[in-house]
Structure 1
């Protein structure tokens, strides 16, 4: 469907990419629902929400606005049901195996105005840079946790958190 010049000016396409975990998917979906609820009536807003096929099977029956659509990538990461057995392998797969299928999904879409990606998906920034799409980072946890993660090296350097002392006590 071709957009007229006026429709193009009044349209906004957001590509939402959550980290594949319930504590990340649900908050990003809630943000997307808030965005659609707050959008202007004359704005043609569309949100494409990318999840694995497995996550889609969990989410497809959940209510959502019509202008949020699910897009799926193959299950290139370990199953949600098995990930606790090898969490390190799961995280490694998220960092190394999800980028290519997410990037290839963009080939079949109109260019999004913005990518809204979980902060735990650093490769989303690479996709945005390659395709000249701005990327907004979504942090699903409290600002306190963000500050601790962001300043972790500073906390270690100043002796506020001594991981070695904890290992000795264990």
Structure 2
């Protein structure tokens, strides 16, 4: 078993928004960061963690000791009867914003308290831009954070280009 002395680059916690179009790019980024010597903790919601295990088998998330998966609740009612259902996006946005800060902070504190010589303390958080509660936790715990935009560049360009004319129209009304 490796000790955290082998991870000179640090420990990155990755937090995607709980939708496949956000999880996949974050997982790709996490793999790249891991390949460069970082210890990775990838944080899924309990709902998505169950879906991954169900679709890929109970050992699908087993792997490297320095790349692990953890979960936090999304705050929505359990839907164990239909794990393949898509969650209601507006409800999910509201719920993660309102309910995930405390479980996420507790998870970071748990990771940092392990102190077992295997898991290094968290040195950075990389979060999906939609998971803004992580900013509060990072600030409270004194951990640097980077927000990751998982959408296509064109989407960002459209939002940026449209925001100026829309705001001018709103203010002139």
State the TM bucket, normalised to the shorter chain.
0.7 to 0.9
Distance across 2 between alignment mates of 1:33 and 1:13: 13
When residues 149 and 123 of structure 1 are mapped into structure 2, their CA distance, relative to the original with a 3 A threshold, is farther
Partner of 1:28: 26
When residues 82 and 26 of structure 1 are mapped into structure 2, their CA distance, relative to the original with a 3 A threshold, is closer
Partner of 1:109: 111
What is the total number of aligned residue pairs between the two structures? 150
Distance across 2 between alignment mates of 1:103 and 1:81: 28
Does residue 1:77 correspond to 2:76, yes or no?
yes
Partner of 1:90: 92
SS in 2 for 1:133: coil
> TM-score, length-normalised on structure 1?
0.74
Checking the alignment, whether the CA contact within 8 Å between 2:125 and 2:145 is kept in structure 1 is yes
Q: RMSD value over aligned CA atoms?
A: 2.8
Stretches of structure 2 that go unaligned for 5 or more consecutive residues are 113-120
Deviation for aligned residue 1:36 = 2.1
Checking the alignment, whether the CA contact within 8 Å between 1:33 and 1:65 is kept in structure 2 is no
Higher RCO, Cα 8 Å, sep 6+: 2
SS in 1 for 2:126: strand
Distance across 1 between alignment mates of 2:73 and 2:92: 15
